[in-house]
Amino acid sequence: MHDVVVLGAGPVGLVAAGLLGRLGRDVALVERHPNLYNLPRAGHVDHEVVRTLQLLDCTDTFLKDAIACETYTMRNGKGELLAEFPWASEGISGYPSDFMMYQPTMEDPLHSQLCDDPTVSLYRGFEIENVVPGDDFVEVHATSPAAEADEFGPARAAESIVLRARYVIAADGGRSQTREQLGIERYDLGYSEEWLNADCRRKRPVHLELDTGQWCDPERPTTVLPLGHRHRRFEWRLLPGETAEQMSDPAVAWELLARLGLTADDLSIVRQHVWNFEAKIASQWSRGRVFLAGDAAHTMPPFQGQGMCSGIRDANNLAWKLDLVLRGVSSPALLDTYQSEREPNLLAWTHLSIETGKVTSVLDPELAAARDEAFRTGNAPAMPTIPPLTGIARSQPGAGELSLQALVRRGCTEGLFDDVIGGGFTVVSTVADPASMLDPQQLAFLSSIGAHLVHVGGDVVDVEGKYAAHLAAQGWEVVVTRPDFYVFGGGSLAELPGIINELRGHIEV
Ligand SMILES: Cc1cc2nc3c(=O)[nH]c(=O)nc-3n(C[C@H](O)[C@H](O)[C@H](O)COP(=O)(O)OP(=O)(O)OC[C@H]3O[C@@H](n4cnc5c(N)ncnc54)[C@H](O)[C@@H]3O)c2cc1C
């Protein structure tokens, strides 16, 4: 009996298994590909996701190749600037706000980490056949076909396995068989566009008129992105009458690359594929003991680079809640907050992605001219904003936002907060030791959820003064944060006992 079986070792499944393993849970991860997939899908990650990778000790290889972009630029067909987004801003999580990366550089260390984690069992090369709910467990049936010896390993006989777990996280992608089996429908936000994607490896430095962003050219909407230091991505919207089959011809990609001044001397194509960008969301993100996460629960067009980031947020939201339930600290009712907390954030990113796509991919020249005029005159439509998380968060400004991670020093160790202090719940005060304000029951509760109580400015040094400035800007002396980095709430030190009692009310359900 495992604690959790994770279905699918895409980025979301890898992170979910990693986070649960880190918490000491007994996890099994089942994936049909015998080896790492080794091709990119996602290109952009934000600082929140990088902080999650940091928790899993997986940032070293990733940061060596990832690029913290300066700006994301949108130009029209004539080259006029429509919009420019500052991507070099400092993210609150301790990293630049946005990175472009080559996905295998993120997945390789995640996979290696899992291989070294004694609490995680990896079942690669297994096709998930069925997910069968039991009374207080779920059974996962999977099979592995016989395989000849090859460069990846010795010959294998066919094998069937049945895994039992208290809970299942289905991160088996947009076509999730588990979602289908559970009979969970998806609702469609009505976006559907086909784009040709060419992921390329650079042979030499390339200098493009537009390095990172979009040519919003009605004759051929085009996206140009670096994927880390060694790769680049190009995307072209299919025009009416063009088919996926036609556009999959390598000659087509080379012809389109030539229009950007690029030839086979500059790049080799790693993968050419026509994707259908759509926005579909599962009406229910769980059924019984099975939870959908990542693309299995939702897909969105990639114009904000947030599909995978959203899935990793799902994993981060679920992991600590499952841990508390499995440890008996919380009742399963805590898990009811998964969809209600995640869905508003996901919907906001999906709408923002769709609206960005509408700006980018206009094909009608008159509509494109009207769009350009709107940008020129400052009348571009307002974009949806991302709301703070509500649920296990106080109802006050600043709660439900991402918490600050900055440099601290304890003793001789200096580094980012999570590395020096550790992840999980934290109670951080800039004026005194938070423990001094709490009674034994409150301290026992905080201990049961593994919270770190920290006096930044006391025994822990606020190296750049960022904690003092951040809390002062909120008018707070203390802040309580959740393991997925979201602020539960804050206030004066005198208010802390009340804040902890409120947190207790949410956790000890
Ligand atoms: C062109 C493009 C660009 C994108 N750019 C970005 C971006 O810049 N940033 C971003 O955040 N997102 C981006 N996305 C979205 C991102 O790629 C997805 O959201 C992300 O890959 C979803 O991860 P996942 O782990 O949920 O699913 P997947 O990556 O699909 O992984 C699912 C896994 O489950 C396994 N599986 C499925 N069924 C079974 C079965 N029956 N048995 C065994 N194993 C099974 C699969 O083999 C796979 O490994 C982009 C998507 C596209 C198409």
Indicate which atom in ligand 1 lies nearest the CA of residue 127: 42
Whole-angstrom distance, CA of residue 393 vs CA of residue 199: 41
Residues 302/179, Cβ–Cβ less than 8 Å: no
Q: Classify 153 in phi/psi space as left (phi over 0), alpha (psi -120 to 50) or beta.
A: left
- Answer yes or no: is the C-beta of 294 below 6 A from any ligand 1 atom: yes
User: CA angle 15-21-23, nearest 5°?
Assistant: 110
Residue 507 has pLDDT above 80, yes or no: yes
Q: Ligand 1 pocket, 233 CB below 6 A?
A: no
SS (H, E, C) 94-159: CCECEEECCCHHHHHHHHHHHHHCCCEEEEECCEEEEEEECCCCEEEEEEECCECCECCECCECCE
Helix (H) or strand (E) holding 419: helix 417-420
Distance 11 CA to ligand 1 centre (A): 7
Q: What is the DSSP letter of 90?
A: B
Average pLDDT, stretch 287-294?
Answer: 97
Whether residue 309 has its Cβ less than 6 Å from ligand 1:
yes
Under CATH, what is the fold of the domain 407-507? Glutaredoxin (3.40.30)
- Residue 88 pLDDT > 80: no
DSSP character at residue 292: E
Which stretches of 268-364 are DSSP H helices?
307-326, 337-360
Name 137's Cβ contacts closer than 8 Å, sequence gap at least 6.
1, 164, 165, 166, 289
What does the alpha-carbon distance between residue 499 and residue 480 come to, in Å, rounded to a whole number? 8
Please report the pLDDT score of residue 290 as a whole number: 98
Q: Is 125 in the pocket of ligand 1 (CB under 6 A)?
A: no
Residue of minimum CA distance from atom 21 in ligand 1: 308
Instruction: Tell me the mean pLDDT in the region 442-471.
Output: 97
CB atoms within 10 A of CB 445: 19
Q: What is the 3-state secondary structure (H, E, C) of 14-73?
A: HHHHHHHHHCCCCEEEEECCCCCCCCCCCCEEEHHHHHHHHHCCCCHHHHHHCEECCEEE
**Percentage of residues of the chain with pLDDT beyond 70:** 100
All structural domains of the chain with their residue ranges: 2-66+100-185+281-352, 407-507
| Choices 3.40.50.10490, 3.50.50.60, 2.60.40.10, 3.40.50.800: CATH for 2-66+100-185+281-352 | 3.50.50.60
> Contact, 203 vs 260, CB < 8 A?
no
Instruction: Report the residue count for the chain.
Output: 509
Distance 488 CA to ligand 1 centre (A): 30
The gap from C-alpha 221 to its chain's centroid, in whole angstroms, comes to 26
Q: Are 484 and 312 spatial neighbours (Cβ–Cβ below 8 Å)?
A: no
Task: State both tokens at 381.
Answer: 């439509």
Question: Which atom of ligand 1 lies closest to the CA of 129?
Answer: 41
For a ligand 1 pocket test, name from 308, 356, 361 the mutation site with the most ligand atoms within 8 angstroms of its C-beta. Answer: 308
6 φ, ψ (degrees, to nearest 5): -100, 130
> Is residue 338 within 8 Å of 318, Cβ to Cβ?
yes
6: nearest Cα among 24, 26, 28, 23: 28
What is the CA(276)–ligand 1 centre distance, in A? 13
Contact 325, 290 (CB under 8 A): no
Q: How far is the CA of 308 from the centre of ligand 1 (A)?
A: 7
State the pLDDT confidence band at 310, using cuts at 50, 70 and 90.
Answer: very high
Q: What is the mean pLDDT of the chain?
A: 95
**Which atom of ligand 1 lies nearest, measured to the CA of 9?**
49
**Tens-digit pLDDT profile for residues 18-59:** 999 999 999 999 999 988 888 889 999 999 999 999 999 999
Q: How far, in Å, CA of 30 to CA of 8, rounded?
A: 6
The minimum-distance atom of ligand 1 relative to the CA of 12 is 25
Position 107 pLDDT exceeds 80: yes
Q: How far is the CA of 299 from the centre of ligand 1 (A)?
A: 9
Does 10 contact ligand 1 (Cβ within 6 A)? yes
Which residues fall within 8 angstroms of residue 86, CB to CB, at 6 or more apart? 70, 71
Instruction: Please report which confidence band the pLDDT of residue 415 belongs to, taking 50, 70 and 90 as the band edges.
Output: very high
Both tokens of 172, joined, read 């088996």
Kindly report the backbone phi and psi dihedral angles of residue 175, in degrees, each rounded to the nearest multiple of 5, phi listed first. Answer: -90, 20
Sheet with 81-86, side-by-side order of all strands? 81-86, 71-76, 213-216, 222-227, 231-237, 186-202, 267-282, 298-299
Nearest C-alpha neighbor of 384 from the set 345, 410, 330: 345
The yes-or-no verdict on residue 199 having pLDDT over 90 is yes
Assess whether the C-beta atom of 199 lies below 6 angstroms from ligand 1: no
Summarised one tens digit per residue, pLDDT across range 122-179 is 999 999 999 999 889 999 999 998 888 887 778 888 999 999 999 999 999 999 999 9
Task: Report the share of the chain in percent with pLDDT over 90.
Answer: 91
The string over 393-412, giving b where at least 16 C-beta atoms fall within 10 Å of a residue's C-beta and e elsewhere, is bbeeebbbbbbbbbbbeeee
Please indicate whether residue 275, judged by its CB atom, sits closer than 6 Å to ligand 1.
yes
pLDDT, tens only, 202-254: 999 999 999 999 999 999 999 999 999 999 999 999 999 999 999 999 999 99
Give the per-residue pLDDT at 257: 98
Ligand 1 centroid, distance to 452 Cα (angstroms): 34
For atom 2 of ligand 1, the residue with the nearest CA is: 41
**C-alpha span between 35 and 502 (Å, rounded):** 46
Q: Ligand 1 within 6 A of 13 CB? A: yes
More confident: 150 or 290: 290
